[in-house]
Amino acid sequence: MTTAPTISTLYARLVVSDAPKAIDFYRAAFGADEIARHTDDNGKVVHAELKIGETMFAVKDEGDGDPSPTTLGGSPVIMALGVADADAVGDAMTRAGATVIYPITDWPYGARGGRLADPFGHLWMISQPL
């Protein structure tokens, strides 16, 4: 019998075309706090940690074998946000520069939500329980 490995954390690491602008977007759209930022000798962000509430995620500039969704022509990954007020989060995202993919509306499965794309090609599904 094999035992599963012990995993202590799991977080998204978003590759973007302009990490400083992306960090500014996530601050404006989600109220994210920047916890840490590490750059290379040219000032390129190799790792920045951001926190929204108790959730941590990372951002880095594309390169070193890591392409951004913009370079790839999109992303197959959707970040799912559970929120208390889907309309407020959607409004904050669009004011910060996000594009609406699916408008925020009530869904028959008991949630209010929608899908938006941030200016860096990452997809965000917003969901509020009804």
Instruction: Dump pLDDT digits (tens) for 3-34.
Output: 888 888 889 999 999 999 999 999 999 999 99
Total domains, the chain:
1
Tell me, yes or no, whether 113 lies in a domain.
yes
Q: CATH code at 46?
A: 3.10.180.10
For residue 99, what pLDDT is reported?
A: 98
**59, 45 Cβ separation under 8 angstroms:** yes
Quote the pTM value.
Answer: 0.91
- CA-derived radius of gyration, the chain: 16
Tell me, yes or no, whether 1 lies in a domain.
no
In tens, the pLDDT along 44-95 reads 999 999 999 999 999 999 998 999 999 999 999 999 999 999 999 999 999 9
For residue 32, what pLDDT is reported?
A: 97
For residue 3, what pLDDT is reported?
A: 83
For residue 63, what pLDDT is reported?
A: 93
Domain limits for position 68: 13-129
Tell me, yes or no, whether 4 lies in a domain.
no
**Who's near 86: CB < 8 A, 6+ residues apart?**
104, 112, 113, 114, 126, 127, 128
Confidence of residue 105 (pLDDT cuts 50, 70, 90): very high
Tell me, yes or no, whether 7 lies in a domain.
no
- Six-digit token string for 49: 């940690």
Tell me, yes or no, whether 5 lies in a domain.
no
For residue 7, what pLDDT is reported?
A: 87
